[in-house]
Structure 1
């Protein structure tokens, strides 16, 4: 599997996160019902960990599931922020997780492994988006095409009006 789109999505997310952090808006009060930058990054770090676990299980021949509900839990998000050491630690963690996923999802997995159906539950804003079998390949593609770009946009929305994205 070509992981270039995934690597590019991680780069764009991390550039946006650095832009927000450099602007001094990393902990700005987001609109009602939205997360601040640290919460967004912690959510991404949890999603990454769940994805790494699923990929590793498939690579080891074990059965796995994929469930993003823990990545939506407020207590867990705050714990990950604290354990990572805040914004800079979260960005480092995400960078390393992205490297790991690109290495694991690339030439390491066979086509059969990438096509492995994974029981998947995905929620967003309290609504079930997915509750079905999803090929492992589609979980990785979904990160690159939907999850990471969506959170990049969410981070950039925290910048003050008229701010320039420099990265």
Structure 2
């Protein structure tokens, strides 16, 4: 079974950061960077992709993880539009985080050690390409991806 405590804390921090910055005066976003809603939509897309990979492994199906769609500007905008942004977007990401934690907690060691063909991009550039265990994908989300976006959300508004 996967210990979801760190993952749970990381999602709580992202949601807390989004709530802290809701309604605050945004800072000018440098070209190529995202505003707070875009960051949160990106987190939702990463979470949806991770949920898909976890569900596939749990179902005994082939699984991969590729974060390219989570960085696509049009797709990010579509998520914001379809959720209505703001509280609805925060609610979606919180629900996705809970679902991911619940599903991940049900996995056994063999499932968590399943190697997934993985492609990770940052700012359109590959940062990792190769096999990554599902456990490492979840741990990376909790330890690096989500904390980085919580900090990004807090930096996206004037203090």
Q: Assess same fold via TM > 0.5.
A: yes
Q: Secondary structure at the match of 1:51?
A: helix
Q: CA deviation at 1:32?
A: 2.5
Q: CA deviation at 1:127?
A: 1.4
Measured on the aligned residues, the alpha-carbon RMSD in Å equals 1.0
Larger RCO (alpha carbons 8 Å, 6+ apart): 2
Query: Which consecutive aligned stretches of 4+ in structure 1 deviate over 6 angstroms post-superposition?
Result: none
TM-score norm. by structure 1 comes to: 0.91
Tell whether the 8 Å contact from 2:25 to 2:157 is kept in structure 1 after alignment: no
Q: CA–CA distance in 2 between the matches of 1:60 and 1:43?
A: 26
Q: CA–CA distance in 1 between the matches of 2:82 and 2:91?
A: 12
- Determine whether 1:122 maps to 2:120: yes
Q: CA deviation at 1:47?
A: 0.4
Task: Structure 2: give runs of 5+ residues left out of the alignment.
Answer: none
TM-score norm. by structure 2 comes to: 0.96
Q: What pairs up with 1:12-91 in 2 under 5 angstroms?
A: 12-25=13-26, 28-91=27-90
Deviation string 1:74-120 (CA, Å, 9 cap, x unpaired) is 110100100111121110001000100110111x1010000000000
Q: Secondary structure at the match of 1:140?
A: helix
Q: Secondary structure at the match of 1:131?
A: strand
In structure 2, the residue matched to 1:112 is 110
Q: What pairs up with 1:2-13 in 2 under 5 angstroms?
A: 2-13=3-14
Identify which of 140, 143, 155 aligns with 2:141. 143
Task: Structure 1: give runs of 5+ residues left out of the alignment.
Answer: none
Q: CA–CA distance in 2 between the matches of 1:139 and 1:86?
A: 27
Q: CA–CA distance in 1 between the matches of 2:127 and 2:95?
A: 28
Q: Secondary structure at the match of 2:89?
A: helix
